[in-house]
Structure 1
Amino acid sequence: MKGSMIASYAALLLLGISVTGCSGNTGEQSLMADKSADTAKPGGERSGKQPSTEPVTLRVNNWNTAFQQAEFDQYFAEPLRKKYPFLTLEYLDQQKGTSNTLDNLITAGNTPDIVFTDYPNLAGLLDYDYPEDLNRYVQDFSIDLKKVDPLVIEGAKTIGSKGELFALPVYSDRMMWFYNKDLFDKFGVPYPTDDMTWDDAIAAFKRLSRMEDGVQYASFRMINLPMTGSQWGVPLVDPKTGKASFQTDDWKKSLALMQQIAAIPGNTKLTNEDFYQKETLASLMQSFNIMVNLLEGVERKGHKIDWDVASLPQSKEKPGIAGANKPLYFMVSKSSKHKDQAFAAVSYLMASEEVQTTLSRNGKMSVLIDDGIVKQFGTKLDILKGRNVAAVYKHKMSALPYSNRFNRLALVEMIAAGNEVLNGTQDMNTALRNAEEKANKAIDAKIK
């Protein structure tokens, strides 16, 4: 593989992760697992279980993501209908009425066949006893997971305790550094590069945050403490104990970084709108897909800003790692009456080169290890023309942090602890200790 667009995959090889090469077959054929000669069909096709052709509607709940129905139809429902005309995906958006929330659907006996969510929320589905272990289906349908990014597959396995595969990834997203070129120009600060450290960035932030003509300009917005730590794979719960673990050096370093940035005048109480509407925020940390969608929406309304994107700064202690991985997954319900069809649907969306190429062209990171697909990243979006989209693949991403069914309980307390420290109402050690105690008290209550 050549070029910065595929540098992250080359880095995986340096880490000793074995990946297989790409083929020129169609997606579903090229991802058939290698079988012995007696399972091969004439013409080189591989055998594998096929779903029943009985017409079935599979109900899909969007659980805590910013994904919209128009995107769902474009990238998932319509391609699946072309492959399997007898399978229909019905989108249940929890943002449109409380009847579509997962809690209410399960309570009413209408558990959806599939849930669509991102990694930070993935383990939370275990608390509902929702997901089916997909290992058997992978074997039955002859799906070759070696063609899929091992980081995101490992994330799906991490949440299980006995080697279960509770989800299949469909695409990835990552946290990036978006910046307003006009504000950098206004204050004579060089644009961000893809190889800066946080120390480099903070030096630039101090030059960008200032009061000018009665307007307070801010330099950088972070999101929260868990998101800051996730770029280095710092877990909220200890994989050995399964309990919240906040009083670690990694969490303290993550919080100290946020303190440094928040101490710069103007760098508190910021929103995305300060960047793309008010244009008083010079730069921010945000997921690539979310920010590009927001900027597209702003442009459709006639407001354009001169922006670009760079890799997030790196820690001096962990060079070469920049930007947290935020993959999105499908889970199949263990109570679904159509498990085979549901698996066929989600495995096709993961494995199809056609589907994954469409996602890549539209700025969504393919989960397939395929340099041809990677090179097409973002090519269909006019808004990305002339932008530094190569930054998305420039550096490695850390392994996804360990997570279990109590992750959401820990997440709430960690966010609160970070806010207390940044607001100056609590010192770091006290805030982390108290938050850990609260999280573990909530976890103990769940266990009982």
Structure 2
Amino acid sequence: MKVKPIAAGLALALLGLSAIGCSGSSGSSAEPSKSPNAAKPGEAQAGKQLSTEPVTIRVNNWNTAFQQAEFDKYFAEPLRKKYPFITLEYLDQQKATSNTLDNLITAGNTPDIVFTDYPNLAGLLDYDFPEDLNRYVADFAVDLKKIDPIVIEGAKMIGSKGELFALPIYSDRMMWFYNKDLFNKFGVPYPTDDMTWDDAIAAFKRLSRMENGVQYSSFRMINLPMTGSQWGVPLIDPKTGKASFQTDGWKKSLDLMQQIAAIPGNTKLTNEDFYQKETLASLMQSFNIMVNLLEGVEQKGYKINWDVASLPQSKEKPGIAGANKPLYFMVSKSSKHKEQAFAAISHLMSSEEVQTALSQNGKMPVLLGDGISKQFGTKLDILKGRNVAAVYKHQMSPLPFSNRFNRLALVELITAGNEALGGTVDANTSLRNAEEKANKAIDAKLK
């Protein structure tokens, strides 16, 4: 396989987009389950028969915040119940740098499956990694009509000739987390699910203040790409295939960030300011990542009085609040077990039992059905008494167009946002310069 290494600086810059430091326990080595739900010899979901020869499918996580314990609970163990002859092995890069995708490919150990979220999905095309799954969908008679059409369309969007390079497993969305004690302290009403950004900024101005030598801050955003993602603003122009940052969408997104950053105390913030120092009143973060983080810090003794609301809406796009971040699985072109790898991921996607368990544990299911989505979060003690209904309150933004140059554009746009917020360059110049740099990098790839 031809390898196109990604520069170290690129990987580091992307950490702020989707990763919060995670660690997990190693997987179980228990014998495969003999559950009555286990597949009979040769049984697949439907259609083509699957070999029952025992196989190990090696799985890698690419640029997402994920833990070994989660992988075992939601993927490996449920799959054993269906296919006792298929073992999912998690190549945990938190434990060894040799398990990063670049290093695995370079060493000739390309994993059978890689999973990542939508903002990173198209970047895997740069490795010439994914297998087109259309043939397997037909062979195994997988009914994609039962799956959320928005996330299926996202998987198709990165192909240029109708390919289906990935299957979705669950979704996540950006939300507004807040510290109730700080809102109480300064007499500011709690966020509601129907606020506009103008409403929110008015509240931010009341929450950010210096008191008894302590700087209290009102709101932390992540970066410019994540700000624009809540309205589905694309980094890549679908007509040209090149970076496009000098648009109304990116200009408005950067203007919003500048308004928030201009409020005293709203720069150079971290998650720790929210849950440890308790000097940050609220922040924007994906639901699943933040809930996992808060579960972890509560186990360490931090007991923050928090709740969650929908992100504010723009007056131009009412009813849309928060970006959709589906998690996708891809099968490697070079895998020796393509059929088993496909059977594994299609089962995780379309099994009512698997999807219900994901929903109960705060991961938005991709399998359609009110009976599944209504169980969202019911198994998590940390969500009891919280405004969990906010997750489904409003429509999510459409998934923006993406191609294999998305990650190159992403890094330049992050830099543009940081420069504009830092005051080193004005907004229009920062966006223009970033677009030029991204397209220069894209042109170099095309040569």
Match of residue 57 from structure 2: 58
Match of residue 176 from structure 2: 177
Match of residue 32 from structure 1: none
Alignment partners' CA distance in 2, 1:438 and 1:257: 23
In the alignment, residue 94 of structure 1 is paired with which amino acid? Q
For the residue of structure 1 that corresponds to 2:365, the secondary structure is coil
Alignment partners' CA distance in 2, 1:295 and 1:439: 36
Match of residue 330 from structure 1: 329
Match of residue 196 from structure 1: 195
Would the alpha carbon gap of residues 46 and 421 (structure 1) be closer, same or farther in structure 2, given more than 3 Å must change? Answer: closer
Matches within 5 A, 1:235-384: 235-384=234-383
Identity %: 88
Q: CA deviation at 1:278?
A: 0.4
Q: CA deviation at 1:269?
A: 0.3
User: How big is each residue's C-alpha offset from its partner over 1:380-421, in whole Å with a ceiling of 9 and x where there is no partner?
Assistant: 010000000000000001111111100000000000000000
Kept after mapping to 2: 8 A contact 1:28/1:353: no
Alignment partners' CA distance in 1, 2:49 and 2:391: 36
Match of residue 149 from structure 1: 148
Match of residue 440 from structure 1: 439
Alignment partners' CA distance in 2, 1:186 and 1:244: 44
User: How big is each residue's C-alpha offset from its partner over 1:239-275, in whole Å with a ceiling of 9 and x where there is no partner?
Assistant: 1111000000110000000000000000000001100
In the alignment, residue 395 of structure 1 is paired with which amino acid? H
Match of residue 163 from structure 2: 164
Matches within 5 A, 1:35-50: 47-50=46-49
Would the alpha carbon gap of residues 184 and 238 (structure 1) be closer, same or farther in structure 2, given more than 3 Å must change? Answer: same
Q: CA deviation at 1:303?
A: 1.8
For the residue of structure 2 that corresponds to 1:126, the secondary structure is helix
Alignment partners' CA distance in 2, 1:345 and 1:356: 14
For the residue of structure 2 that corresponds to 1:437, the secondary structure is helix
In the alignment, residue 247 of structure 1 is paired with which amino acid? Q
In the alignment, residue 89 of structure 2 is paired with which amino acid? E
User: How big is each residue's C-alpha offset from its partner over 1:295-353, in whole Å with a ceiling of 9 and x where there is no partner?
Assistant: 11111112201100000000100000001001101000011111000000000000000
Match of residue 17 from structure 1: none
User: How big is each residue's C-alpha offset from its partner over 1:204-234, in whole Å with a ceiling of 9 and x where there is no partner?
Assistant: 0000000011100000000000000011110
For the residue of structure 2 that corresponds to 1:80, the secondary structure is helix
Would the alpha carbon gap of residues 28 and 285 (structure 1) be closer, same or farther in structure 2, given more than 3 Å must change? Answer: farther
Q: CA deviation at 1:161?
A: 0.5
Alignment partners' CA distance in 2, 1:204 and 1:186: 13
Alignment partners' CA distance in 1, 2:402 and 2:310: 25
Kept after mapping to 2: 8 A contact 1:27/1:353: no
Alignment partners' CA distance in 2, 1:250 and 1:147: 32
Match of residue 68 from structure 2: 69
Alignment partners' CA distance in 2, 1:168 and 1:419: 34
User: How big is each residue's C-alpha offset from its partner over 1:141-176, in whole Å with a ceiling of 9 and x where there is no partner?
Assistant: 111111111111111011000111100000100000
Alignment partners' CA distance in 2, 1:243 and 1:325: 23
In the alignment, residue 227 of structure 2 is paired with which amino acid? T
Gaps of 5+ in 2: 1-35
Q: Does 1:215 align with 2:214?
A: yes
Would the alpha carbon gap of residues 219 and 47 (structure 1) be closer, same or farther in structure 2, given more than 3 Å must change? Answer: closer
Match of residue 427 from structure 1: 426
In the alignment, residue 177 of structure 2 is paired with which amino acid? F
In the alignment, residue 349 of structure 1 is paired with which amino acid? L
User: TM-score, normalised to structure 1's length?
Assistant: 0.89
Kept after mapping to 2: 8 A contact 1:27/1:351: no
In the alignment, residue 349 of structure 2 is paired with which amino acid? M
Kept after mapping to 2: 8 A contact 1:232/1:324: yes
For the residue of structure 2 that corresponds to 1:376, the secondary structure is coil
Would the alpha carbon gap of residues 60 and 46 (structure 1) be closer, same or farther in structure 2, given more than 3 Å must change? Answer: closer
User: TM-score, normalised to structure 2's length?
Assistant: 0.90
Alignment partners' CA distance in 1, 2:104 and 2:295: 33
Match of residue 135 from structure 2: 136
Alignment partners' CA distance in 2, 1:28 and 1:84: 6
In the alignment, residue 149 of structure 2 is paired with which amino acid? P
Would the alpha carbon gap of residues 148 and 214 (structure 1) be closer, same or farther in structure 2, given more than 3 Å must change? Answer: same
Alignment partners' CA distance in 1, 2:407 and 2:192: 34
In the alignment, residue 151 of structure 1 is paired with which amino acid? I
Alignment partners' CA distance in 1, 2:115 and 2:49: 23
Q: CA deviation at 1:95?
A: 2.5
Match of residue 8 from structure 1: none
In the alignment, residue 110 of structure 1 is paired with which amino acid? N
In the alignment, residue 166 of structure 2 is paired with which amino acid? A
Gaps of 5+ in 1: 1-25, 30-44
Q: CA deviation at 1:94?
A: 2.1
Match of residue 416 from structure 1: 415
Q: CA deviation at 1:369?
A: 1.3
Would the alpha carbon gap of residues 84 and 429 (structure 1) be closer, same or farther in structure 2, given more than 3 Å must change? Answer: same
Q: CA deviation at 1:27?
A: 11
Q: CA deviation at 1:28?
A: 12
In the alignment, residue 189 of structure 2 is paired with which amino acid? P
For the residue of structure 1 that corresponds to 2:364, the secondary structure is coil
Match of residue 24 from structure 2: none
Paired residue total: 408
User: How big is each residue's C-alpha offset from its partner over 1:17-70, in whole Å with a ceiling of 9 and x where there is no partner?
Assistant: xxxxxxxxx9999xxxxxxxxxxxxxxx99511321000000001111111001
Alignment partners' CA distance in 1, 2:45 and 2:431: 53
CA RMSD of aligned residues (A): 1.5
Kept after mapping to 2: 8 A contact 1:62/1:92: yes
In the alignment, residue 385 of structure 1 is paired with which amino acid? K
Alignment partners' CA distance in 2, 1:232 and 1:138: 31
In the alignment, residue 352 of structure 1 is paired with which amino acid? S
Alignment partners' CA distance in 2, 1:311 and 1:50: 45
In the alignment, residue 397 of structure 1 is paired with which amino acid? M
Alignment partners' CA distance in 2, 1:199 and 1:52: 58
